Structure 1
Amino acid sequence: MKFDNPEDIIQLTPLWEGERFSNGRPKVSDNLLRRIRNITLEEAWGPLWEQGYTNQFEGDFKIIHPDKVMVGRAVTAVLVPKRPDLNDTLMQYGIEQEGRKGFFNQWVIDSLVEDDVVVVDLFDKIFQGTYVGGNLSTAIASRTKRGGAVIWGGIRDNQQIVEIENENFNVFYRGSDPTGIADVTMVGMNVPTRIGRAICLPGDVVLATPAGVVFIPPHLVESTVVNAEKSHVRDMFGFIRLKQGVYTTADIDMAWTTALWSDFINWFENDEAAAEFRHLDWTAELEAARKLEDNGGPASDAVRL
């Protein structure tokens, strides 16, 4: 058994065709991470749900900075209750064969790079289940720059963690306790990880918001972002027109006519509010609406993203 094994990670993520880290972990582009920071959790969750990825969200967390959004690439870890023979075997292997130092949680944190998020299944343990405190949280903030941690377990030193000087750093966790971490063994690093009712794989993009956390499979990130951005910018337009009294809520919520699409495209191409989304293309939506109306029917909900 190896920790952070490239062969295993590649085997687990065969649908990813892009760049990878040296350990095989998918490396979603910095540009996509930046774009994800501008969408809501629901906008990201919707396309995943529609494609059958119905176990990507968990919302039952406490949050160090409840008003902050955190985005990054997942580095996962799975811990179990300590069994002495298993614990000694894995600890010895990691230290002697892989050259690791310290306790299991330090092994993971020492591997982090910029824009990483530690995702840890600590089987909801809080007493003696405190995966990070002030020191390790500082190390995560320093290494990841814009990342942090999602921990299905506990933390300690909350007051110190809150005061870490990194405006992007955040920690999502289940509870806090003054005890240190003890009586646990790491059985997997960068392996499939259960977080409550969600599953996270190494390289998933973590979108952690005040509403909870969604884990986006790397091969679906680009399509998810595009769909989410389209939903977001259409909502922007809809809110404006509803305030102006141009359309009813039924007009906006139901399938759009070609006339409404034309109004939207004109707004999209000329209003400064839409400037950052002008990389999006609406040709398919507009053509689908035209084709259906030419055939005597209304634009279908199927053309909506």
Structure 2
Amino acid sequence: MLPPMPFGGKRERIGMTQLKAKYDEQSAVWNGVAGHAWAQEQDLINEAFKPMEDRLVEELWTVGAAKVLDVGCGTGATTLALSKMGHGAVECVGIDISQEMIAAARARAAARQSTAQFVCADAQAHAFAATFDMIVSRFGVMFFDEPGSAFLNLRRACRDAAQMRLLVFRTASENPFMTTAERAAAPLFPAVPVRVDGPGQFAFADTARVRAILEAGGWTGVEFQPIDFECSFPSGKLQTFFTRLGPLGRILHEADADTRTRIVTSVRAAFEPYVDGDRVRFEAACWMVSARAGIQSGML
């Protein structure tokens, strides 16, 4: 049964003004420099994270869901892979806040004649019909401003006993590759953002926090499986990776030409331990978060 009063006293309600402000903030990020870079470099990102995509396809095969929602779908690689595995028998929907990434996802779906559908909206507040029997995400849920409200809303999108499989990063210390660029650049460019608690790449590393969020949102049977994925991409794309993506990629354009040159040289040297001939190889330390939708005892 769903808890009658999540978050220890009353249901979390966000006023429309506050919710719109949160939406506008995230929309500005993912419809700005970050979203543009991710859309343009979708092939690089999808190659690097292909092992995670494959694992989520395996999870769909095991669960046997008929209708799947891919949260924070980006340019749609995982959504399309899930749809392809289902051979048209599985209805797959991807949702993302980035207009440019959703446009890229729709273009890829059309080129492949895929039945996958894509929605440009905020998963925290979008009015879903309660029809999904599985929710998946490949690094798409760590950026919620209001994760409590988000997972309540995602529960509303699901049938009772629907399954959820989320891939999220563990701690920054377990993922040194992911912070190499900013650590190497910081002495040369103090404007590099410092990672703080809140929405971001490692926001779901703390299992106790994530468990509390999910259980308060009506999700039961929460489990965490540590998985270390072996990832790689062409070494010729390394400079593109660290100059366009991540915290450094979002602000590097603000540096003057001389500083940019020194940053690129320093960061490239810092990545040398990960270069193996024509490939960049790294390990991504992740959690596979599993849960199921609790039985509704009333309106959420």
Q: TM-score, normalised by structure 1?
A: 0.25
Bigger proportion of residues as helix: 2
Q: TM-score, normalised by structure 2?
A: 0.26
